[in-house]
Amino acid sequence: MSVKLRLKNSLLYFLDKLPSKWGFYCYHIIQQKMDSNNFDLKLNRGIGAMNVISKILAEINSSLDNKSITEIGSGWLPVMPYLLKYQGNAKSIYTYDLYDHYSAETIKDFNTYFVAKTNPNIDLSTLDDYNLPEDIHYFPKKNIIESAKIESEVIFSRYVLEHVTPKDIELMHKKFASEMPKNSLIVHLISPSDHRAYVDASLSMQDFLKFSEKEWKTRMTKFDYHNRLRLPEYLEIFKKCGLEVAYLNYDVPKKDSATYKKFKNLKLHQDYHKFTEEELMAGAINIVLKV
């Protein structure tokens, strides 16, 4: 384990031991100082995601044009809601998050940056308490499972589902299937690989598959939960909820790559022996479900 990952783990374990209120307060301050003001990085990542979404929807003869969209996982900045509205021409966006990470002061600065970079027609006279423009509605500290009826035509998430418990993934998709209008779409960009490998390059992207469920739980905190679901498990949940797969794409490392060699050196826990190599390594999952 690299020094960087060891330090990160130690910090998260320490924060996890604090009373929840103080732990989240400190975590929030640290994240804001380290990451939330990096507008260039976050906007570029968001534009990359928008390009993926636009390409996918074009392939299935659909678009975001004049659609109402509900986003799962708001994060620290309204990058995707802004891009969905001002580049995707969405009618309205409702964004839900379990936590309250938005800062009115930071979003005020982001508005200036976003206008300068993308030249959208943002009416700065209609901003709400978070400095968000009209038609972008933020619901912090709100589990979408417990929200009012979902009437949007599109559900969207970007690198969120891997941080949701399997039980909640099933509950939310049952809600979507029962409440959304017929032929509505659910678009998920999922990153199912071991996120610790982004901090420690010596680790395999599937390193966490060597642990039992009990062992893995001891290595996580409430700040870095990861469910370890493999592609067939996601598909089984969606099927159980009565949703149709309208589009599916994912990456698999080539057998001559360093990523594959690291995977082959892993001693997988017996829980994962039932999967094929492709199912275990499937990453960057892009999926569209149809109600």
Is the pTM above the cut of 0.85?
A: yes
Q: Please provide the distance, in angstroms rounded to a whole number, between the alpha carbons at the two ends of the chain.
A: 43
Which pLDDT score is estimated for 215? Answer: 96
Q: pLDDT 10s digit of each residue in the chain, 291 long?
A: 787 888 888 888 888 888 888 888 788 777 776 665 689 999 999 999 999 999 999 999 999 999 999 999 999 999 999 999 999 999 999 999 999 999 999 999 999 999 999 988 888 778 999 999 989 999 999 999 999 899 899 999 999 999 999 999 999 999 999 999 999 999 999 999 999 999 999 999 999 999 999 999 999 998 889 999 999 999 999 999 999 999 999 999 999 999 999 999 999 999 999 999 999 999 999 999 999
Which pLDDT score is estimated for 36? Answer: 56
Q: What is the DSSP letter of 283?
A: E
- How many alpha carbons lie under 13 Å from residue 159 in its C-beta half-sphere? 13
Q: How many helices (H) and strands (E) does the chain have?
A: 10, 7
Backbone angles phi, psi at 264, to 5 degrees: -65, -25
Quote the Cα angle for 247-94-72, to 5°: 50
Domains of the chain: 1-36 (no CATH), 38-290 (3.40.50.150)
3-state SS, residue 246: strand
How far apart (Å, rounded) are the C-alpha atoms in residues 68 and 135? 9
Distances (CA, A) of 121 to 118, 216, 277: 9, 47, 48
Query: Tokens representing 213?
Result: 């469920």
Number of CB atoms found within 10 A of residue 5's CB: 17
Which pLDDT score is estimated for 37? Answer: 65
The helix-helix angle for 231-240 and 166-179 (nearest 10°) equals 40
Which pLDDT score is estimated for 122? Answer: 83
* Residues 120, 82 contacting (CB under 8 angstroms): yes
